[in-house]
Chains A and B, each alone.
Chain A
Amino acid sequence: MKNSLAALFLILFNTTLFAQSEIDMATGLRSSGKIYVVVLVLLTIFIVLGVFLFLLDRRIKKLEK
């Protein structure tokens, strides 16, 4: 009984481990630190957008006075 249970667990655990190694994730980009460049680029674009919106808000506020 114990032996067959151990065998069953061995097979089940093995299959999940196998599935994990087959799926590629961008670990290369992460380990080389290049992912930080991507983050910075997107943040820059977004911060510029934010500043633009703020300046627009201020111009409209001035017009409303």
Chain B
Amino acid sequence: MRTSWWKILGLVMVASAIVAGLLGPVPVLPILHETIRNVYFHVPMWFAMVTLYLISVVYSVKYLSSGKTSHDLMAVEAVNTGIIFCAIGLLTGMLWANITWGEPWPNDPKLNGSAIATLMYLAYLVLRNALEEEQKRAKISAVYNIFAFPVMIVLLYILPKMTDSLHPGSGGNGTFRDLDMNSQMRPIFYTSVIGWILIGVWIFTLRYRLRLLENRKNQID
């Protein structure tokens, strides 16, 4: 957590994704035109969010068996960071949808699913706020987290594929593979995904370390 190599790696990967993403060759497709480059930035936000929510639920499970406060703090700070990426994903998606689909929110199953998933995780934070006692708060929110995570996965990645959708990859639409038939975009895309996941995890560790320090300070007072 305190080593630097993976943090620098994350920064370098995203920086190169920015340069290559704007200057590199992309498939020429109707409707999308140059906005296809948004794939390098909008999609990694969701990858980072799911990674952070996964870390959170793992630590929630760990907390229920260990009872250690540090596990609970990891769970909550991972959700806090994940929600930031979720918000950026939603905003960037709406900006993109506005130009390509004609409206920022066309009542699409994937978008509605992402809205519900966002509300679920915001409810996790509200739940924590409502419980005063530390252990009760940690236990109840851990159970809620374990419930929320699979529901989020289903809402974002399973249900939209089963019905009609505007979103690429869902509802009978072509996947990324069909867009990027020459694999021009793939190396830049994966670099961006891994880079943003590393940066997301970095921000999460910073929040966690701060929380730990605050916790220690409060207990001494």
- Chain B residues positioned under 8 Å from A14 (CB to CB): none
What's the tally of chain B residues with a CB closer than 8 Å to chain A? Answer: 22
- Which of B4, B7, B11: most chain A Cβ within 10 A? B11
Q: How many A-B residue pairs have CB under 8 A?
A: 51
Contacts of A41-62 to chain B: CB distance below 8 A: 42-43, 46-47, 50, 53-54, 56-57, 60-61
Contacts of B23-75 to chain A: CB distance below 8 A: 23, 28-30, 33-34
Bound: A61/B209 CA distance, A? 9
DSSP class of A's interface residues: helix, strand, loop or mixed?
Answer: helix
Tell me if A53 and B28 are in contact (CB < 8 A): no
Tell me if B29 and A23 are in contact (CB < 8 A): yes
- The verdict on B202 contacting chain A, using a C-beta distance below 8 Å, is yes
Q: Categorize the interface residue count of chain A.
A: 20 to 34
- The verdict on B22 contacting chain A, using a C-beta distance below 8 Å, is yes
Listed in ascending order, the chain B residues whose CB lies under 8 Å from chain A are: 2, 4, 7, 11, 14-15, 18-19, 22-23, 28-30, 33-34, 199, 202-203, 206, 209-210, 213
